[in-house]
Amino acid sequence: MNSKTIAPYWEHFEHGADIGIRGIALTLEQAFEQTAVAMTAVITDPDQVLATKAVSIHCEAPDHEMLLLDWINELVYQMAVQGLLFKRYQVAIHEGKLSATAFGEAVDRQKHQPAVEIKGATFTELHVYQQPDGAWIAQCIVDV
C-alpha cells in the first residue's frame, strides 16, 4: 500500500489491566491528534461528542515521546477540571513545542455513558516514530 493514501486513524492495543492508545498518520501532528481521539474512545464513543467548546493547550518537552506524554496528560487534566470530553483536535508542533486546540463538550452521563476515568498516560509502550513508509506512530498505555 502506498503510504501517501493513508488517512489518519487511531486504534487501541491490549494491555493486561489497562489500555493502549495509538495514532497513525502521515504527519507527527496528525498522529498526535489521532492518539488523542483514541484516548477519548477509552472513555466514550467520540462520535457521540459534540465540538461546541474549544480549549487551548500548550506543552513543551525535550523529545517527541515526552511531548506525547505531556499532551495526553494535559488533556486528562483539562477533561477532569472542566468536566469535558473532546471530539477532535488541531495540533501544531514546532521545535519541541506543542500548541493545540481541543474541541468538545461537557460530559453528559446519560448521553455519553462514560465508561472509565483516565488517571494518566504512562511510559509503558510509549513510542513515537516514523515508519519506513513515512507514517508516524504515536502511542502509549493509559492507566484507568
The nearest distance, CB 38 to other proteins, in angstroms, is: 11
CA 100 from centre of chain: 11
Say whether residue 109 binds other proteins (CB under 8 A). Answer: yes
Q: Which is nearer to other proteins, 42 or 93 (CB)?
A: 42
Q: How far is CA 125 from CA 64, 109, 121, 122, in A?
A: 14, 31, 10, 8
Q: Which is nearer to other proteins, 99 or 125 (by Cβ)?
A: 125
- Phi and psi at 34, nearest 5°, equal -70, -35
Region from 22-30, 51-59, 91-99, 123-131 binding other proteins, contact rule CB under 8 A: 123-131
**Taking Cα atoms as reference points, which of 90, 113, 129 lies closest to residue 41?**
113
> Which of 37, 43, 68, 91 is the binder for other proteins (CB under 8 A)?
43
Q: Is 77 in the site for other proteins (CB under 8 A)?
A: yes
Q: Looking at beta carbons only, is 12 or 88 nearer to other proteins?
A: 12
Contact between 38 and other proteins (CB under 8 A)? no
Residue 55 as a binder of other proteins (CB under 8 A): the answer is no
For residue 96, state whether it binds other proteins (rule: CB under 8 A).
no
Give the separation between CA 28 and CA 7, rounded to whole angstroms. 13
The residues of the shown chain that bind other proteins, judged by CB under 8 A, are 12, 14-19, 42-44, 62, 66, 69-70, 73, 76-77, 80-81, 83, 107, 109, 113-117, 119-124, 126, 141, 143-144
